Structure 1
Amino acid sequence: MRPTTSLSLSLLSTLLLLPISTLAAFTGEAEADGVKFDFTQLKTHSVVVEHKQDPSVLKSTYTINPAGKIELSKDEKEDRCPDGTQVCMISRLWYGDKPDEHAAQIISFGNVESPKDSEPEYTIMRDEEKKVLGLNVTFHGPEYGEKKLKQNAIVKFLCDQEMTGLEEPDKDGKGTNALKFVAYEGDQTVTLEWRTKYACEKPLGEAPAPSQGSWGFFTWFIVIVFLVVAAYLIFGSWLNYNKYDARGWDLLPHSDTLRDLPYLIKDFLRRAVNTFQGSGGRGGYSAI
């Protein structure tokens, strides 16, 4: 017997399923019905569910990485899902405070390393007023159990502006968990809900994220000119110091020109002013 929980009736009553799309592998980004979703800011997350089975307790841990495969510990050799797994379910019997030596159940859903065998499907969720509720992603797994039932994991990314999706309980189990177990129905379909602001539709006119692209041509031109001038001054100063034992201003290349530069500029401006003033006078002979 497996733990089950009824789905949210309010969600089901307002859910409109649009045409299903498939992905070779779900890496946290998707576009459905003109709406783009980006869950790459989320990280690997887990939720633990307990189900009493006297005299033991069955604890099931559901772990998901929406942006790729779950990074597995090197210490775990037996009780773990295969490499490349995106959604992992591991159930273990506990007797008091002692866990059973081996897991009772290990099921994997979705595999980024063999996407042809587990192509995920996704569809946008809207209410009756066409408001975006989130994204529904289905990860497929292998056949499992005596009946060889095809396993599936449905992850509902639900819009919640108040949650980032990174919330999780502390070591004592206190605190809110953004990831919620909903049901494991018919020993073949797991349903999880993940509340996050990243499942919300961005308002029209919202400014896009600042570009992280490379510098423009003008910026590179300024940088290159600065580096060339600096290199010229450093090399010229070094040459004057070693060859002529120069000091102070004499270290700089063309130091005489640099000293006279203020006077040259002043003389240039005076000539320019005189030229403009002279051009404004009347032509012809002057009166006697």
Structure 2
Amino acid sequence: MRSSNAYRITASAALCFAPWLANAYTINCDNVVVQKKEFNLGALDNQYSLYTIDQHPPTVDNTTFAINFCRPLNKREDINAKEDCPGGSRVCAITNETNTVDHTSLIRETIPIAGEYSHTQGGSLDPKWTRLKTSSATADKGREGLRLEMHGGMYKETHGSKTRKKKQKAIIEFICERTPDEKRRKRDELLRIKDKDENEDQDDGDDDEVGDDSGERIDDGHGGTLTFISFEDEEEFTTLRLEWKTKYACEDSKDSRESSKSGHWGWFTWFIIM
């Protein structure tokens, strides 16, 4: 009887924690499923940093955006723990202010943008995926890939004598960018199902954009690029927008198809069974 009661208590506890766990563990990068389409973004499970520089003589602000949409960010060892991104962060901004006259430097602000903060004073990650091919937005017409919207961040803003909490969020657009081999394979497939005239409209992409300095950009180590677009107030939220050009966002990606064949049980599944 005791073991039966213990089982019921464990099951009840699991159900009580289920909503919180569901919010905290909803991004499985190895198998992102949107409208029955599967994408394997597991290769992008890494911590990336982008930065912007704003000059306000005699000071210069360097804002570093740390990003890992797959799991919480690692703690930094080069700064004070109180100035670091809070635990559970997936996207966070730290602004370092340097005075060019007296050559002093300080961390002016740390902004938690997206993460699982529901156990502290913020909100939940609440990730939302959009498949660009089926999006109703005019700007998405003709595009292939995914859009990920993440929430949870909150930041105190001061305007004069007034202070208010402003919600934060991050939007990452994963745009299909095929490698030369994949582009060739895609072109061959189109030749088999379309007329030659239609196929001539297929271009190799926008390789000349690599030198574009409209936003800070880094190589993701897998043939793709991650670019800062903007970090601005948008009504209810302050929104960070990023663009990620990657082969893993292509719907016919070989990597994505292979990942769908080998599934595995996640941590949450094991928790319920136990």
TM range (shorter): 0.5 to 0.7
Task: Give the conservation status (yes or no) of the 8 Å contact 1:110–1:119.
Answer: no
Query: Which residue of the partner structure matches residue 151 of structure 1?
Result: 168
Q: Pick closer, same or farther for the CA change 1:105–1:133 going to 2, 3 Å.
A: farther
Whole-angstrom CA distance in 2 between matches of 1:59 and 1:70: 19
Query: Which residue of the partner structure matches residue 68 of structure 1?
Result: 71
Query: Which residue of the partner structure matches residue 247 of structure 2?
Result: 197
Aligned-partner residue type, residue 48 of structure 2: H
Task: Give the conservation status (yes or no) of the 8 Å contact 2:47–2:73.
Answer: yes
Q: CA deviation at 1:147?
A: 3.4
Query: Which residue of the partner structure matches residue 100 of structure 1?
Result: 105
Query: Which residue of the partner structure matches residue 58 of structure 2?
Result: 55
Greater Cα offset, 49-58 or 29-38: 29-38
Query: Which structure 1 residue ranges, 5 or more long, are not aligned?
Result: 1-21, 164-172, 214-288
1:88 alignment partner, one of 70, 89, 92:
92
Percent identical pairs in the alignment equals: 25
Whole-angstrom CA distance in 2 between matches of 1:153 and 1:174: 17
Residue 185, structure 1, aligned to residue 202, structure 2: no
The C-alpha deviation readout for 1:98-148, integer Å capped at 9, x for no partner, is: 5622x2221113324758623122211128897552211111112431332
Task: Give the conservation status (yes or no) of the 8 Å contact 2:112–2:155.
Answer: no
Aligned-partner residue type, residue 47 of structure 1: L
Aligned-partner residue type, residue 26 of structure 1: I
Query: Which residue of the partner structure matches residue 122 of structure 1?
Result: 129
1:158-237 aligned at under 5 Å gives the runs 158-162=175-179, 176=219, 178-186=225-233, 188-202=238-252, 208=258
Task: Give the conservation status (yes or no) of the 8 Å contact 1:124–1:132.
Answer: no
Residue 138, structure 1, aligned to residue 149, structure 2: yes
Query: Which residue of the partner structure matches residue 39 of structure 1?
Result: 41
Q: Pick closer, same or farther for the CA change 1:27–1:65 going to 2, 3 Å.
A: farther
CA RMSD of aligned residues (A): 3.5
Task: Give the conservation status (yes or no) of the 8 Å contact 2:129–2:146.
Answer: yes
Query: Which structure 2 residue ranges, 5 or more long, are not aligned?
Result: 1-21, 158-162, 181-215, 264-274
Task: Give the conservation status (yes or no) of the 8 Å contact 1:144–1:150.
Answer: no
3-state SS of the aligned residue for 1:41? Answer: helix
Who wins on radius of gyration, i.e. which is larger? 1
Q: CA deviation at 1:203?
A: 5.9
Query: Which residue of the partner structure matches residue 194 of structure 2?
Result: none
Aligned-partner residue type, residue 146 of structure 2: L
- Give the structure-1-normalised TM-score: 0.53
- Give the structure-2-normalised TM-score: 0.55
Q: CA deviation at 1:196?
A: 1.2
Aligned-partner residue type, residue 85 of structure 2: C
Task: Give the conservation status (yes or no) of the 8 Å contact 2:127–2:149.
Answer: yes
Aligned-partner residue type, residue 230 of structure 2: A
Whole-angstrom CA distance in 2 between matches of 1:132 and 1:89: 29
Whole-angstrom CA distance in 2 between matches of 1:210 and 1:174: 30
Q: CA deviation at 1:88?
A: 1.0
Task: Give the conservation status (yes or no) of the 8 Å contact 2:247–2:253.
Answer: no
